[in-house]
Amino acid sequence: MRRVVVTGLGMVSPLGVGVQNNWERLIKGESGLRAITSFDVSDLPAKVAGQVPRGPTSEGLFTAEDHVPTKDQRKMDEFIVLAIAAAHEAIRDSGWQPQTDEERELTGVMIGSGIGGLNGIYDGSITLHEKGPRRISPFFIPSALINLASGHVSILYGFKGPNHSAVTACSTGAHAIGDAARLIMWEDADVMVAGGTEAAISRLGIAGFAAARALSTSYNDRPSAASRPYDKGRDGFVMGEGSGVLVLEELEHAKRRGAKIYAEVTGYGLSGDAFHITSPPEDGNGGFRSMRGALKRAGLDPSEIDYINAHGTSTPLGDEIELGAVKRLFGSAIETVSMSSTKSAIGHLLGAAGAVEAIFSIKAINDGIVPPTLNLEDPSDSCLGVDLVPREAKEKRVRAALSNSFGFGGTNASLVFREFK
């Protein structure tokens, strides 16, 4: 089977724009969670979110016009704008510029989203109700369609290879990366631009997740404390938004052009819970099987995994179940692995989470630093004996990292990245 490596990274998150900027702030223990001020939250139970900070690009903040011309922004919902921004960075970082038709046809895109253009659908519904069908924009449908993130990136760059999108709720980003790597392994492409994107923070989005009793509501007056995976005081996740995009490339292709190689994608496991639409089974067998599958594919023993980027959303039940599954799979290797949830700093980026967290896992390998689990002050009893990297990043050699993503519908994906030598 052909080997797949990572040669480009790009990211927009609640910590700002750019991978290096994000990573430095994450390692310093900064939080991207704030009180929501961009819309009325007075009647919503959750009033905190991880919104992409707006401001000058030169300060690591987000200005949409610097990524997508203003006239084109009307044709796409915000999740697409964020994906384009992250894709621009990742593709620039990789240095890959196909020159021939054949090269273009072997370069594909697989950027997914959990929800897609929720805000545009909301606005369109209001327009339809108040003004009638003649006032619905011709861009209404293409703005909202999830696969248009991949579509726009392919059109902008002339990438004519596989054009695809994963849509698996909070596992989207991980599935996109894993599936894209397999397209390269099977020679459908030499290069894939893969990742996830999400921009669903709105009155409707918050109301929906709050109704499912999924969101944190006890820390509205202390936003940066609201996401606290594994802490006894955790009470739900905090919605985040952003996008993570990776350039995946066949190893020999990357070597031939002298590309910088961040890591190798060696493991990918998938599973279904077949249990409940929003809750995992108590024994966490779905997550267990996706992790086990990823390790098997990677040919690694748990003792060779030095870091786990947990799904760890800060829900009372989910964190406990994931931790239990990890303990069972790792056995005595639990003593040497470090496991943290970066959702403690940026919230839950839903369809973008798996991609953004894959990038953090790769940076941990490259820099020999594992990012912290913020707000972990009073760990649940089950955390005893597990290094959850409380509150502060720490230096540690990471030979291989496992990244978990579990989504509504009982859809699980785990990825293994290995240092490239």
| Comparison of 74 and 421: residue with beta carbon closer to another protein | 74
Which residue among 170, 345, 356, 388 is the active-site one?
170
391 close to 369: Cβ distance less than 8 angstroms: no
Closest approach, Cβ 132 to another protein, in A, equals: 11
C-alpha dihedral sign at 210, 214, 218, 224: negative
Rank residues 135 and 296 by Cβ distance to another protein and give the closer one.
135
Distance CA 364, CA 27 (A): 10
Burial of 162 (0-12, 13-18, 19+ CB in 10 A): buried
In the complex, least distance from residue 39 CB atom to another protein, rounded to whole angstroms: 24
* Nearest to another protein of 69, 258 (CB atom): 69
In sequence order, what are the beta bridge partners of 415? 268, 403
Phi, psi at residue 144, to the nearest 5°? -95, -25
- The nearest distance, CB 360 to another protein, in angstroms, is 36
The distance in angstroms from the start CA to the end CA of the chain is 18
Query: Smaller CB distance to another protein: residue 71 or 256?
Result: 71
Any idea how long the chain is?
421
- The rounded Cα 232 to chain-centroid distance in angstroms is 25
Pick the closer one to another protein by CB: 141 or 185. Answer: 141
Which residues in the 131-150 window bind another protein by CB under 8 A? 134-135, 137-139, 142
Radius of gyration of the chain (CA): 20
Distance of CA 93 to the CA centre of its chain: 19
Strand-pairing partners, residue 265, are 4, 417
Cβ atoms of 259 and 95 closer than 8 Å: yes
Nearer to another protein, 75 or 396 (CB): 75
Amino acid at 263: A
Could you tell me which of 164, 133, 134 has the C-alpha nearest to residue 146?
164
Distance (Å, whole) CA 355 – CA 309: 11
Smallest distance, another protein to C-beta of residue 66, A: 15
Instruction: Quote the least distance from Cβ 139 to another protein, whole Å.
Output: 6
- What is the closest distance, in whole angstroms, from the C-beta atom of residue 138 to another protein in the complex? 4
Residues in 378-397 at the binding interface with another protein, rule: CB under 8 A: none
Please report how close the Cβ of residue 71 comes to another protein at its closest, in angstroms.
Answer: 3
Which two structure tokens, joined as six digits, stand for 129? 């109700």
Q: What is the Cα–Cα distance from 259 to 245, expressed in whole angstroms? A: 17
Per-residue H/E/C for 133-181: HHHCCCCHHHHHCCCHHHHHHHHHHCCCCCEECCCCHHHHHHHHHHHHH
Q: Which is nearer to another protein, 61 or 141 (CB)?
A: 141
Between CA 322 and CA 383 the distance in angstroms is 11
> Which one of the spans 37-45, 130-138, 206-214, 405-413 is the region binding another protein (CB under 8 A)?
130-138
The tokens describing 372, both together, are: 């912290």
CA dist 355 → 258, 329, 381 (Å): 25, 23, 30
Shortest Cβ distance from residue 140 to another protein (Å)?
Answer: 10
Backbone angles phi, psi at 310, to 5 degrees: -75, 155
- The contact pattern for another protein, residues 240-279, with x = CB under 8 A and - = no contact, is ----------------------------------------
Cα–Cα distance for residue pair 38/55, rounded to 1 Å: 14
Considering only residues 64 to 123 of the shown chain, the ones binding another protein according to CB under 8 A are 69-72, 74-75
Binding flag, residue 63, another protein (CB under 8 A)? no
State the number of binding residues for another protein (CB under 8 A). 12
| Residues 314-373, interacting with another protein (CB under 8 A) | none
Pick 132 or 385: Cβ nearer another protein: 132
Q: Is 170 a catalytic residue?
A: yes
Which active-site residues does the annotation give?
170
Binding site for another protein (CB under 8 A): 69-72, 74-75, 134-135, 137-139, 142
